[in-house]
Amino acid sequence: MKYFLTVIVLCSLVYNQTTLGGNLKQNHRPLIETITTYNDMRLDPASFAPSLNSNDQKIFHDLILKGKIQTLPEIKHVAVDTYHMVVDDSTVIFDEKNWNQKKIRINNYLIDLSKVQSVNQLMKAIEKVVPAGEKKSSFLQMVEELVFPKAYGGWGKSGWLLLAAGVIAAASVGYMIHNKKESSNSKDNSSNDSIVKSSVGDVDSKNTSPISSKSFSVTPIGESYEHGFFILRKFNGKLYAGAFGYSKKQKIFTYSPWAAASPGFTTGESVCDLREFNGYLYANTENQGQIFRTQDGSNWEKVLDVKPDIGCGLAIFNGRIYATELTLDSAPAEIHRSSDGKSWEKVYSSGSTKRYMKEIVAFQDKLYGFYVDLDGNKNGMMSSSDGVIWANASAPARFIRSYVKGNTMWLAATKKYSSSGESAIWSFDGNNFKKVYSDSSKSHISYISSIGDTLVATTTVEWKGKQGGATLLQSCDGGSTWVTVHTFKETEAWGMEEFEGALYVATKQDGGGGKVYKVEGLCSK
């Protein structure tokens, strides 16, 4: 279904962007005008039909009125000059810059429409960029029954002719969108006829390929003993995974090969963060604020055990390691620090304020902590130049994870405590916040990281949910636009880390089943 709908909608939107289509070719249309027309057509297809009543346009008229146009996916505005259309596991991304250059991105592939010479070539290109193994959709069955008996009676109904039916539907809808008026076109049928018959060229040949591609794969490498994982971190040539669960089972796993650490350590809840400092790997846990550390990856020692119930964030700043601790639904929240990892001092307390603070990060000569004050649900940010004296400021969202790359801090925000009712990705330059992506269907943007020049983020559908649907996003342009490249079977995805040239993603599923996945082939360049 996703393949055929992608073909239909892509052709519909970009017909005027390519050199294909003969007399159906139109002049370039502004992106917002094209998308608005498309979405309006979905909502009220009957209003577009009256101008298509001539005999020559009978096929287009029937397609609009009988073709269940409302089932086509909506194109949603997700950021400035950026729009997404999600078709099952595939995402088509439209942004002003690429549109003006006659380019569109599908998943992690960029299609250069200026190189497309025929509908068949476009169809073949799209086949390469969407997941394989798709089944014929009910929409395509309708197109097949509608188009072939009336326009090409007697032609076959399987294989490439079935694909051709999808392309004919695309051409029809595209023609309607870009004209919205009756036109005499006795040549249209012969044009479509040649589309069905024409051979498919090598769209990957040098200097002619409309797509930039690289093999994309997502492979599970290991599973936890409980619900899943919260954090990933590389240390001394191995990848470490911190687990989530309440049954005091092993909380540390390593790769490669995949194995539970031995003896490792157990604790009553998750490993919320892992951080390397002075030759040790530290683990902050959500169990009585306990912090553990290891030098060899196998033997762990407890180095902090404080009163706040939950430990989470870890950061390195000016030669010291800092840790956040908080009490769930109560006061206080605290920050502790150490210069040797053994002796710790408290450098901040929220006192009687119920401050939920889990994230702490060093950025541009300052240390930042992000929180929400539960009395009044106010989002905030603390900053300090020395780790002792802290200044408070408001924040536009509840930020639960951060990632620093160059001169930008990327922030993952939750739907809860959001004034706009959406999870989001924000950038921060030390002075100003900017929202670059949002999703009202997910409870959390749960982690942000990078591999090479590619920025990546994960989403979580619902805390302790069981329906699946956590996703992996990527940005190939420095964070301006984001696209979904994979949907996981698990509901939550909380950690990522680059390791030995691949991206690793940690997932969680309430009741069990969370895994660590190896992801390759992001952002073809």
Residue in 243, 240, 239, 201 with CA at minimum distance from that of residue 225: 243
User: Is the same domain home to 205 and 286?
Assistant: no
Residue 135 above 50 pLDDT? no
User: Is the same domain home to 77 and 177?
Assistant: yes
Residue 186 above 70 pLDDT? no
Pick the last residue of a domain from 212, 246, 271.
212
- Is 513 part of any domain? yes
CB 315 within 8 A of CB 274: no
Q: Which two tokens stand for residue 57?
A: 């346009």
User: Over the stretch 501-524, which tens digit does the pLDDT of each residue have?
Assistant: 999 999 999 999 999 999 998 985
Find tokens 């908080």 and name the residue: 326
User: Is the same domain home to 185 and 225?
Assistant: no
The band of 108, judged by pLDDT with boundaries at 50, 70 and 90, is low
User: Is the same domain home to 334 and 239?
Assistant: yes
User: Is the same domain home to 89 and 32?
Assistant: yes
User: Is the same domain home to 201 and 247?
Assistant: no
Enumerate residues 6+ apart whose C-beta is below 8 A from 307. 288, 289, 327
pLDDT (average), residues 13-32: 49
CA distance 493 to 461: 9
Dihedral sign (CA 393, 396, 402, 408): negative
User: Over the stretch 305-318, which tens digit does the pLDDT of each residue have?
Assistant: 988 778 999 999 99
- Is 94 part of any domain? yes
Domains contained in the chain, number = 2
Q: Which two tokens stand for residue 148?
A: 């072939």
pLDDT (average), residues 151-162: 34
- Is 525 part of any domain? no
CA distance 353 to 124: 60
Query: Residue 32 CB: number of other CB atoms within 10 A?
Result: 14
Confidence at residue 376, expressed as pLDDT on a 0 to 100 scale: 82
Residue 197 above 90 pLDDT? no
Q: Which two tokens stand for residue 66?
A: 């009988």
Confidence at residue 85, expressed as pLDDT on a 0 to 100 scale: 77
Confidence at residue 524, expressed as pLDDT on a 0 to 100 scale: 55
The per-residue pLDDT of the chain, averaged, comes to: 77
Pick the last residue of a domain from 212, 246, 268.
212
9-23, 39-53, 169-183, 439-453 — most confident range: 439-453
> Which amino acid does the sequence have at 319?
G
User: Is the same domain home to 208 and 261?
Assistant: no
The band of 459, judged by pLDDT with boundaries at 50, 70 and 90, is very high
Confidence at residue 368, expressed as pLDDT on a 0 to 100 scale: 98
- Is 19 part of any domain? yes
> Which amino acid does the sequence have at 401?
R
User: Is the same domain home to 208 and 227?
Assistant: no
- Is 347 part of any domain? yes
Residue 141 above 80 pLDDT? no
Q: Which two tokens stand for residue 331?
A: 């006061």
User: Is the same domain home to 283 and 426?
Assistant: yes
CB 314 within 8 A of CB 284: yes
CATH number at residue 488: 2.120.10.80
- Is 108 part of any domain? yes
Boundaries of domain holding 114: 2-212
Pick the last residue of a domain from 186, 212, 238.
212
CB 509 within 8 A of CB 517: no
pLDDT (average), residues 55-77: 59
The torsion defined by the Cα of 46, 51, 56 and 62, in degrees rounded to 10, comes to 0
CA distance 70 to 201: 33
What is the full DSSP assignment across 227-273? Answer: SEEEEEEEETTEEEEEEE-SS--B-EEEETTTEE-SSB-B-SS-EEE
The band of 386, judged by pLDDT with boundaries at 50, 70 and 90, is very high
Residue 122 above 80 pLDDT? no
User: Over the stretch 276-334, which tens digit does the pLDDT of each residue have?
Assistant: 999 999 999 998 789 999 999 999 999 999 887 789 999 999 999 999 998 877 889 99
Coil, helix or strand for 498? strand
Chain-centre distance for alpha carbon 122:
25
DSSP single-letter state for residue 178: H
User: Is the same domain home to 295 and 364?
Assistant: yes
Instruction: Name the least confident of 10-19, 60-69, 443-452.
Output: 10-19
Give Rg (Cα) of the chain. Answer: 27
The band of 131, judged by pLDDT with boundaries at 50, 70 and 90, is low
Omega prior to 45 cis, within 30 of 0: no
Percent of the chain exceeding pLDDT 70 equals: 67
- Is 443 part of any domain? yes
* Distances 512 to 223, 224, 469, 489, 519 between C-alpha atoms, Å: 9, 8, 15, 12, 21
Enumerate residues 6+ apart whose C-beta is below 8 A from 205. none
User: Is the same domain home to 85 and 174?
Assistant: yes
Strand ranges across the sheet with 408-413: 399-405, 408-413, 423-428, 433-439
User: Is the same domain home to 301 and 450?
Assistant: yes
- Is 125 part of any domain? yes
